[in-house]
A and B are shown apart, each in its own frame.
Chain A
Amino acid sequence: DGGITQSPKYLFRKEGQNVTLSCEQNLNHDAMYWYRQDPGQGLRLIYYSQIVNDFQKGDIAEGYSVSREKKESFPLTVTSAQKNPTAFYLCASSPTGRASGYTFGSGTRLTVV
């Protein structure tokens, strides 16, 4: 079955460490996105990519970095510059061309310890 897979489901980070969240899709979607969700809050866009080797900053990109070397993969690195990284991170994908709904992954819960 086609879908989008995020790993790990839970991740613990020490102060000052960089961590990378994985996002893989086999839906053949061109566009991929990273969102951050804080408890009881909505979805805030971190980065998005509409094509391989290209990506754009979203609304809260500071302290995060991404790469898009393959169509199927869009990893997110949470750097030590992100002062409050504890949150639920969601990856999504969609086809391009005609506006379509997103397919979301099941999320990664990141906690700073």
Chain B
Amino acid sequence: GENVEQHPSTLSVQEGDSAVIKCTYSDSASNYFPWYKQELGKGPQLIIDIRSNVGEKKDQRIAVTLNKTAKHFSLHITETQPEDSAVYFCAATPPTYQKVTFGTGTKLQVIP
């Protein structure tokens, strides 16, 4: 089955700096890669996603890159703000069914 590794597990940045979270996956058939943000005591929320036919996608301060050959994808947050503090999960989805494999999460702390 699919295996997703996520690094780092914790990340502290100064407000205004950039943050990068990296994930690798094992199943080359996976073709959809969402990222979720989970604030304390709440459910995860989809913040950005990328499909395997695209190398990069941006939405304001966040961007995701995908390297299919190396089987890794990354989340980039620029100009970080205190409200970006949360746990971020990456995920990989195979094309044949909807069962998603999640990474173990990264706790991001933005220091004012």
Binding site for B on A (CB under 8 A): 6, 31, 41-43, 45, 48, 50, 90, 92, 94, 96, 99-107, 109
Contact A45 B31 (CB under 8 A): no
* Sampled A-B contacts (11; CB under 8 Å): A42-B104, A45-B99, A48-B98, A99-B93, A101-B34, A102-B34, A102-B46, A104-B43, A106-B42, A107-B41, A109-B41
Interface secondary structure of B, over-half rule: loop
Q: Tell me which residues across on chain A come within 8 A of B94, comparing CB atoms.
A: 99
Q: Which of A48, A100, A103 contacts B99 (CB 8 A)?
A: A48
Min CB distance A97 to B, Å, is 9
- Per the 8 Å Cβ criterion, residues 40-88 of B in contact with A are 41-46, 49, 51
Q: How many A-B residue pairs have CB under 8 A?
A: 51
Report the Cα distance A43→B45, complex, angstroms.
13
Contact A106 B43 (CB under 8 A): yes
Residue of A nearest to B35 (CB): A101
User: Which range contains the number of B residues in contact with the other chain?
Assistant: 20 to 34
Instruction: Name, among A6, A43, A48, the residue most crowded by chain B CB atoms within 10 Å (CB to CB).
Output: A43
Given contacts A50-B97, A101-B46, A102-B34, 15 further A-B contacts (CB under 8 A): A6-B43, A42-B103, A43-B89, A45-B99, A48-B98, A48-B99, A50-B98, A99-B32, A99-B51, A101-B34, A101-B36, A101-B49, A102-B46, A102-B100, A103-B46
Q: Tell me which residues across on chain B come within 8 A of A103, comparing CB atoms.
A: 46
Min CB distance B101 to A, Å, is 9
Residue of B nearest to A105 (CB): B43
Contact B104 A104 (CB under 8 A): no
Q: Tell me which residues across on chain A come within 8 A of B98, comparing CB atoms.
A: 31, 48, 50, 94, 96, 99
Report the Cα distance A103→B31, complex, angstroms.
19
Q: Which of B31, B41, B42, B45 contacts A99 (CB 8 A)?
A: B31
Contact A107 B42 (CB under 8 A): yes
Residue of B nearest to A98 (CB): B32
